[in-house]
Chains A and B, each alone.
Chain A
Amino acid sequence: MPCPYSRLSPRAYPEEFAMRIAHYLNQFFGGIGAEEHAGKELEVRDGAVGPGRLLESLLGNDARIVLTLVCGDNYAVEHQDEVTASVVEKVRHANVDLFVAGPCFDAGRYGMAAGALCRAVQAELSISVVTAMSEENPGVDLNRDALYIIDSGTSIANMRNVLDKMARLSRKLVTKEPIGLPHEEGYLRRGWLRDQLVEKKAATRLVDMLLAKMNGEPFESEMPPTAFAPIPMPAGVKNLSRAKLMLITDGGLVPKGNPDRIEGTAATRWGSYSIEGRDDLRAEDYEVSHGGYDTRFVQEDPDRLVPLDALREMEKNGVIGKLHDEFISTCGRSNPLSNTRRLGREMAAKIKRDGVDAVILTST
């Protein structure tokens, strides 16, 4: 019986009859270790690793992960071009039908790397690619139009369910079956349009939608809200030596004890903390509330996130007029726009009230 995939992968070895897959994982899912190993370089392993084993079995008896690529999250982001080129080469060499990255859940650096790699593999090798991550993952908005990204949600407890969706979508892509709508297949909305004949005429849908809205019932607009409106650029600071500057961070630096209980994920709060009289930030006074990066280095020396020492120096030397007595902090990790828009507005109000002329925002 002819291999159902043979027409898709003419280079496949006839005696294997397998769907050949390459899988990309980060240091954690690749079994190397947690955040402290995020700087690990790209490694190659034979066969399936970690969640890849379950993925392979969900894909079916004729599926084989022939190659797993593991890389530290920080390394992948900081050396994106080099890692991408390397991965594309290795995947090319492995003669696969499918490239899978993740699932990444809400790990932002992982998602960004997975997205970039999938894009590159798709573009350069023209093979099917699938990844998965949560909607808030920054890897989504950067890549959603080019890729099928399964919505994994944020909880790793759903791994099996997510891998199952990835497997089913992968199969359809490889066998070139038509792909359904996002809610049918489980992928995140890609931002493309296609026409479909529906049961109800537009007039009915229009009135239904208004009545639902008026009754406070949920309704689904046929057009999603737009992404980011352009932000007008304020004029440059004219006289820096007279200006009052303020430091803001979304890296989650807070006074020891986290008095405002700023959450390490999807923070709903922000705080403003006094740095009056201080020339630098000392490790014993602060802690970091941010679940999205290895916070050791910032803990050791908080100036690595909030550069107070450098700015205090500039204040003393007259480069800037004044450094504000407070710095603002919150946590930017996996934070939905519904939160961050509000946080930003509140911060802006305070900044205005305090007579600040310019802000330096540091982001991890």
Chain B
Amino acid sequence: MQLTLARHPVTDLRFDTPARLEGSILLIDRAELRRLVLEDESIVSVDFDIARPGERCRAGPIFDVIEPRAKAPGCGADFPGILGAPITAGIGTTHVLTGAAVSVLAEISPDPTRSATGRVLEMSGAPVEASEYSSLQHLIVIPHTKPGLPRQTLEKAYRLAGIRVAVEVARSAWNHLPTNLQTFEPVGPGEKGRDGRARVAYVGQIFSRQRKPAVDEPILYGANTDGMLPVMLHPDEWLDGAVVPSLHSWFGGTETYFYQNHPIILELYQRHQAREINFVGTVATIAGSDNFDRERHCRAAANLVKWNLNADGAVLSKYGGGLPHADLAETARLLEGMGIKTSVMVSDVSRDRRVESALLFNVPEVDAIVYNGGNGKQWEVPRVDRIIAATPEFTELLAGPMTIDASNIVGITNQQGASRMRAMVY
């Protein structure tokens, strides 16, 4: 595995033909993109828009945010298992348009009982310092689906539309000179050259069986993870399109953008490069549907970390809502029992803002906890000049002024490690 990212910084987006990258300006061919998106029969029409940092502009509900990336010709498949054959991701050169994002809107909130607006992209005002997305140039994709389709069909349509567009616009980089190239250092349980350094693994949940996945729901190399046991992945597979979020969006926050730019994996790579640790690999796991399922996965994941990765320490993250904290804690507990030190990252589930209501586990050995906040913070946001939304109802709903929760702004709460919103105990 040798992944090379060829970075092309983007500072502006404009609509024009033909699609191309001129310096740092990305010219986007709407007609071409429309043809591509409409190949999916679930979508009857699609609009495109652009949102720039600092603009008094708001878009939502956001279904996903994707970084425009395209494999160099001959270097493999984009989103293998979804857009093409499931060949191994993370090999060869991938072109990246940094500073840009493709953001797909949904026509419905993922959970209207929890939030009428769903997750919102806020490009100006107080919330922007809390989300990386506010500093990117966004190509907004607004698909309109055929009426009467089941919810999961809509969600799959949004997923495919987003990644197709992201790959297509990134192909403009094929004939463009990258500003820099980053080749990741080899990592793995058998790699030499870091004797004496602590062997560290990452265990990340990629799905939660609090819900059953759709038969054709693509998550890991296009498979829906149903019935699957934990599996070892090379870190570059996460970074290069092997994993996408589930169709159901959780308010804890998971976007394709932060799989491509996985904060935890990139952090471990940095320490590996600096020879502080020996990054030995990762395990992708699933939060169980019941006690047996949980037991089965936690043990299998811990065993992989111990016997296959031979790690001394592991960092763990979760996916989904509250119950997956049990899987998180149990996996960590088992690892600690095997002599492997752990740290875990939890989401904020406290409703009454009391610490005692927030911790969903009480395992003395699992004592290194990073606490992602977001449940207690709100902002008063003003009326903005422009709303980008799929329906007139949402245009109305998002207009403002209004009070918006931190967990309802995309990029503030995040289960992949990107968040800087911490829940402080006082």
Contacts and interface: CB of A to CB of B under 8 A. Distances in A.
Interface in A192-209: 192-207, 209
B345 A206 contact: yes
Interface string B264-300: 1011100100001100000000000000000000000
Nearest to B355: A191
B267 A207 contact: yes
Contacts of B277: 211
Contacts of A209: 343, 368, 370
B250 interface: no
B315 A222 contact: no
Interface of A: 145, 181-182, 189-207, 209-211, 213-214, 219, 221-227, 229
Given A193-B355, A222-B423, A227-B356, A210 B343 contact: yes
B343 A203 contact: no
Contact of B129 (A192, A197, A203, A225): A197
B368 to A, nearest CB: 5
A195 B421 contact: yes
Nearest to A212: B368
A193 B350 contact: yes
Contacts of A195: 348, 373-377, 406, 421-424
Given A202-B419, A210-B343, 11 more contacts: A193-B353, A193-B355, A193-B425, A195-B348, A195-B376, A195-B406, A206-B315, A214-B312, A223-B371, A224-B425, A226-B359
Nearest to B371: A222
B420 A197 contact: yes
B426 A201 contact: no
Contacts of A197: 129-130, 420-422
B346 to A, nearest CB: 7
A192 B341 contact: no
B358 interface: yes
Contact of A203 (B344, B348, B417): B417
Contacts of A199: 420
A66 to B, nearest CB: 31
B364 interface: yes
B179 interface: no
B422 A196 contact: yes
A256 to B, nearest CB: 39
Question: Counting chain B CB atoms within 10 Å of each CB, which of A195, A206, A225, A227 scores highest?
Answer: A195
Contact of A213 (B276, B368, B418, B421): B368
A186 B274 CA distance: 38
Closest 4 CB pairs of A and B: A203-B417, A203-B263, A222-B371, A195-B377
A229 B370 CA distance: 22
Given A209-B368, A221-B367, A225-B364, A203 B267 contact: yes
A223 B341 contact: no
B414 interface: yes
Given A195-B373, A224-B355, A207 B425 contact: no
Contacts of B264: 203, 206-207
Interface of B: 129-130, 198, 200, 263-264, 266-268, 271, 276-277, 312-315, 317, 341-346, 348, 350, 353-356, 358-359, 362, 364, 367-377, 406, 414, 416-426
24 contacts: A181-B424, A182-B426, A193-B348, A193-B375, A193-B376, A193-B426, A194-B376, A194-B423, A195-B348, A195-B424, A201-B263, A202-B417, A203-B267, A207-B267, A210-B200, A210-B343, A210-B368, A214-B313, A221-B367, A221-B368, A222-B370, A222-B422, A222-B424, A223-B425
Decide if the interface of chain B is mainly helix, strand, loop or mixed. mixed
A172 to B, nearest CB: 14
Contacts of A192: 353-355, 425-426
Nearest to B271: A207
Contacts of A225: 362, 364, 367
B353 A211 contact: no
B372 A202 contact: yes
A223 B344 CA distance: 11
Contacts of B130: 197
B276 A206 contact: no
Nearest to B343: A210
A206 B346 CA distance: 10
Question: Counting chain B CB atoms within 10 Å of each CB, which of A182, A191, A209, A223 scores highest?
Answer: A223
B364 to A, nearest CB: 7
A206 B355 CA distance: 19
B315 to A, nearest CB: 5
A203 B368 contact: no
Contact of A210 (B315, B354, B372): B315
A40 B370 CA distance: 49
A225 B266 CA distance: 29
A201 B353 contact: no
A189 B350 CA distance: 17
Contacts of B425: 182, 189, 191-193, 222-224
A206 B353 contact: no
A207 B315 contact: yes
Contact of A181 (B263, B266, B353, B426): B426
Given A201-B418, A202-B263, A210-B315, A223 B358 contact: yes
Contact of B198 (A201, A214, A222, A224): A214
Contacts of B376: 193-195
Given A191-B356, A195-B377, A201 B420 contact: yes
Given A192-B426, A225-B367, A211 B276 contact: yes
Contacts of A223: 346, 355, 358-359, 369, 371, 425
A198 B422 contact: yes
A214 B277 CA distance: 11
A259 B271 CA distance: 55
A286 B268 CA distance: 62
Contacts of B416: 203
Question: Counting chain B CB atoms within 10 Å of each CB, which of A190, A203, A210 scores highest?
Answer: A203
B371 A210 contact: no
Contacts of A200: 420
A214 B343 CA distance: 10
Nearest to A180: B426
A219 B424 contact: no
